[in-house]
A and B are shown apart, each in its own frame.
Chain A
Amino acid sequence: MNINIDVSKGNTISAYLAGLLVHGTQLGMGILGFQRIIAKEAGHDAWISVILAGLVTHLTLWIIIKTMQKYPSADIYGIQDDVFGRRLGTAVSIIFIIYFILTAGIILRSYIEVVQTWVFPNLPTWILAGIILFLAYYTIVGGIRVIAGYTFFSIIATAWLVFDLYFPLEFARWEYLFPIMDTSFENLFRGMMAMSLTSVGFEVLYVVYPYVQNKDRVNKSAQLAVLVTYLIYLLVMIVTLVFFSQGQLMRTIWATLNLQKMVYLPILERFELVVISLWLIVILPNIMLYLWCSARGLKRLFCFNLRSSLYWILSVIYLASLTMLSRQQMNWLYTVHGKISIWVVYLYPYFLYVMVLLKQRTQRAKSKSKGESA
């Protein structure tokens, strides 16, 4: 396997689009219901957990970009191959591919669950899953530039939804936020860990990085993207905490949709139905980018054709999404995915960075000793 990728000039994206990709992938299904999971651990101080998670994400992103800067034209699959050697590198890369596929599958399945719970209780899963995956396939075969373009469109088309938070604020009781820092640091930390499904998405940079044109600007734009994402999360979290009482929040699965239920316009009631429909536009970039990352991995590892590997991945996800899952099983799936993503996205990058540094040091030492002996 070639460690470096040759990316033709016509197939690159600019740094700010890479930032948009990070933001678009982070913001997705998680935001619809992350409040309850965090508040379960951190209580009414959940917003502090959001800030903590944001800080950790900034740091992890920085480490990821640091790692990538050591290999200007390689993706994670190439780096792992180089650092761990052929066999171990492939094994680790397969874990990453599985993680990408799993994440895409969970996003798809949970969106379908929301549609079935809130809008069409009788809509069969296979139709919705088919449409979404077909749209994803159609865009992915266009390559990273098309995906980035679509992400740009999706962010522009849905950014205004933030302003809906004005409506629930009418019912705000600010007492609910006090006293600040009432819970232990351990609970805040656990709340931060519970946020993993909501905050993952920036790890796609591992695969996208070689495609970025002006690589010196990636750090800036990606960090900005994460900052925007977390500001939105923080805003949503604070509005949720003052809008619901704690006991009520514990019984609310999709708190953000319940916030949207308060939106009331003279010509339009039941705004949450509009939001759920628009959410298809929001989650498509997530699914597309994750699928693209996994298909890229198969291509890099086994030289599979992008299209044919997509056929396989799509049919696996499609069949998996058809399995009937109850709410309890979905919750279990989220927990498992949360644990996996903490290892893969939040802990592994540091390990990889250390390994890359060690590798470079030994290489340097080797070439030095070679130079001395010669």
Chain B
Amino acid sequence: MLDERKKRMPFIKRFLALWCSGVMIVTGCGDRQIFDETGLATAVGYDLLKDGNIRGTAIMPSINPEAKKKIQIFSATGETSKSIRDRVNLQSDKRVLGGQIRVALYSENLAKRGLGSIVDTLYRDSSISSRVYLCLFEGETYDMLTYPYSEEGNIGIYLYRMIEQNIEGEKIPSSTMHEFFRAYYDKGIDPIMPYIARKGNELQIKGIALFQGERYVGWITPKEAFLIKLMHGKFSIGSYDTSVPAHIFGEEPKSRGSKKDRVQLVFDTISSKSQIDLTQVSPPLFDIHIRLHARILELTLPLKLENAKLMKIMENALEKEIEKELQKVVSKLQGLDVDPAGFGMVYRANRRGMANMTQAEWRKMFKEARFRFHVKSTIIRNGVMD
């Protein structure tokens, strides 16, 4: 018996070794994705056509050294984004993959109809990063992506860098796919996206598009977006410009026209902290306390800033001005019936038993809500000049 086992064991061992190495070799060949044979899309755009279909446009960097153009553009129409991809594959010499998509663009018309299902396909696909930036384009994305820009090179990467740079510089709020979906599935906040427009040869971020659920309803300027972020977020490097009436500094307006009545002030390296309190439940009354530290960058009046009294006046003027602007933005949002600042989240976080608050309930309350802003600003530095 023992002898027999001794004989059998090496056989089993040999068999296992053979089987194991066989499996290793075989699996090495499974699911290869050779770089030369794949086309990695860097940006995709979606438009709504007149017949209700969707046209998708994808941009890929061309790695063929003989090609004259640095990018390849493919476009196809279909009812779903994956059928578009299949049709794009029919036009391409390489397998089109979405793993490197950095920016997804949607046309205004499509966004007005609702973006839920078309963004859903991107989020569902595990090969696509959650850090993809979603943006809205004024007009047709096909025209935008196929436009022969002189400077930008790969327009997908260019767009990505443009948005990233502005988000990191805190000029616009972040708008990754993850954040879009988080807001979309949350009942107390509405999603936002950068609103991009083309001006001649150049692209620019025109503002921030506001969504009501999945539907695009309107847009606001970056300055208003800054104010929204001021309400609920923390700033560390933003900048802001405003104007205050000149007479508060004791300066008489020079008789050169009404424009000089106001002094332009530009602040930067703003660091801010905000705290939103729900003071009253029904109708909701929010008390928003904002603490602001700023540095003066520019002012259009030759003032001597060593005067502490003057500084105090300036701080007060700044506080009043920002409070006024905040109030304006909030009433604009209430008019559009969207809540991109997430007051609904704050409301839910401050009240018990509201975990199942519906969107409709919150919209009704948001319309009636009142807001009081308390800004405290400190000017900590004024550059190298006094």
Contact = CB atoms under 8 A, between A and B. Distances in A.
Specify whether A and B are partners: yes
Interface of A: 43-44, 117-118, 120-124, 127, 130-131, 134, 171, 173, 175-179, 182-183, 243-248, 250-251, 258, 261-262, 264, 269-270, 272
14 contacts: A127-B27, A134-B16, A171-B179, A173-B342, A176-B345, A176-B349, A182-B352, A245-B182, A247-B185, A248-B184, A258-B130, A258-B178, A261-B178, A264-B131
A118 B353 CA distance: 37
B30 A122 contact: yes
A120 B182 CA distance: 27
B292 to A, nearest CB: 21
Contacts of B174: 171
Contacts of A134: 16, 19-20, 23
Interface in B316-345: 342, 345
Given A124-B30, A171-B176, A270-B129, 17 more contacts: A118-B126, A123-B27, A134-B16, A134-B20, A171-B182, A173-B182, A175-B349, A177-B349, A178-B349, A179-B351, A246-B185, A247-B184, A248-B186, A258-B130, A261-B130, A262-B130, A270-B99
B182 to A, nearest CB: 5
Contacts of A182: 352-353, 355
A179 B30 contact: no
Given A122-B31, A175-B345, A127 B186 contact: no
Contacts of B229: none
Nearest to A118: B126
B182 A244 contact: yes
A261 B129 contact: yes
Contacts of B179: 171
A127 B30 contact: yes
Contacts of B183: 245
B38 interface: no
Interface in B96-134: 99, 126, 129-131
Interface of B: 16, 19-20, 23-24, 26-27, 30-31, 99, 126, 129-131, 174, 176, 178-179, 181-187, 189, 342, 345-346, 348-353, 355
Q: Looking at chain A's contact residues, is the secondary structure mostly helix, strand, loop, or mixed?
A: loop
A165 to B, nearest CB: 15
A171 B131 CA distance: 11
A177 B350 CA distance: 11
Contacts of B349: 175-179
Pairs A-B, 9 closest by C-beta atoms? A247-B185, A245-B186, A178-B349, A248-B185, A175-B349, A245-B182, A261-B130, A120-B31, A118-B126
Nearest to A276: B126
Contacts of B26: 127
B30 A245 contact: no
Contacts of A124: 30
A44 B355 contact: yes
A88 to B, nearest CB: 34
Nearest to B9: A307
Contacts of B130: 258, 261-262
B186 to A, nearest CB: 4
Nearest to A128: B27
A269 B131 CA distance: 10
B180 to A, nearest CB: 10
Given A179-B351, A245-B185, A270-B99, A120 B131 contact: no
B189 to A, nearest CB: 8
Contact of A171 (B178, B348, B355): B178
Contacts of A272: 126
Nearest to A259: B130
A262 B345 contact: no
B342 A179 contact: no
B355 A173 contact: no
Nearest to A127: B27
A178 B277 CA distance: 13
B129 A269 contact: yes
A179 B350 CA distance: 6
Contact of B345 (A43, A173, A264, A269): A173
A122 B127 CA distance: 14
B128 to A, nearest CB: 9
B346 to A, nearest CB: 6
A244 B126 CA distance: 17
A44 B357 CA distance: 13
A176 B185 CA distance: 13
Given A269-B129, A270-B129, A248 B181 contact: yes
Contact of B30 (A123, A176, A183): A123
B352 to A, nearest CB: 5
Nearest to B187: A247
Nearest to A248: B185
A121 B99 CA distance: 14
